[in-house]
Amino acid sequence: MRIVVIGATGTIGSEIADALDANHEVVRAHRHGDVKVDLDEPDSIRDMYEQLGELDAVVCAAGIAKFGKLGDLRDADFGLSMRSKLMGQVNLVRYGRERLRDGGSFTLTSGVLAQHPMPGTSAVAMVNGGVESFARAAALELERGLRINVVSPGWVKETMESMGMDSSSGTAARDVAQLYVQAIEGEQTGEVLHP
């Protein structure tokens, strides 16, 4: 399959791209690479699809949502969270659905805070929940055998280590990446996959 991985230099995205490399043609995209895309900018998503031509799968492991207490989050913080992680991924599907080959797939990223929020995560939890609800609904309408699924990572071990946290409860990025591979190579649609 010919697969674009958005966020391919990230903690999770780099493991996804490496895992897919053995059996597929992988295109690595992010804001600063040879194949550039900025999820926050709808035109940049359109330009990426124009540049890439035919694809079998689109994987997204990128998108920003702002942490902060409800009283501290500003309009701009909610705006960025919706524009980047929510609408960025929604637009990947909206603009990509006519470009994928028959039977192709989208695999998006949400996060455990959709189901298990903590104080200081209202914007992140909102966006994660939105991505999951969007995917379940979009799966009902996609044509030509196209599929859409979401991976909902918990805390990733490498991320916890980089933040100086105890990482013993985290999941290695390599293990999270396997869920994306399953979503791409499997037959499910409208599902949220948890590590």
Ligand X SMILES: NC(=O)c1ccc[n+]([C@@H]2O[C@H](COP(=O)([O-])OP(=O)(O)OC[C@H]3O[C@@H](n4cnc5c(N)ncnc54)[C@H](OP(=O)(O)O)[C@@H]3O)[C@@H](O)[C@H]2O)c1
Q: Is position 26 an interface residue for ligand X (rule: CB under 6 A)?
A: no
Q: Which of residues 90-109 bind ligand X (CB under 6 A)?
A: 109
Closest separation in Å from C-beta 175 to ligand X: 12
Contacts of 86 (CB under 8 A, 6+ apart): 63, 65, 127, 130, 131, 134
Q: Exactly one of 26, 58, 84, 181 binds ligand X (CB under 6 A); which one?
A: 84
For residues 44 to 83, the per-residue mask of contacts with ligand X, x marking binding by CB under 6 A and - elsewhere, is -----------------xxxx-------------------
Longest dimension (CA), the chain: 48
Q: Exactly one of 16, 83, 96, 111 binds ligand X (CB under 6 A); which one?
A: 111
SS3 content of the chain, % helix, strand, coil (to 5): 45, 20, 35
Which residues lie near ligand X (CB under 6 A)?
6-13, 30-32, 37-40, 61-64, 84-85, 109, 111, 153, 155-156, 159
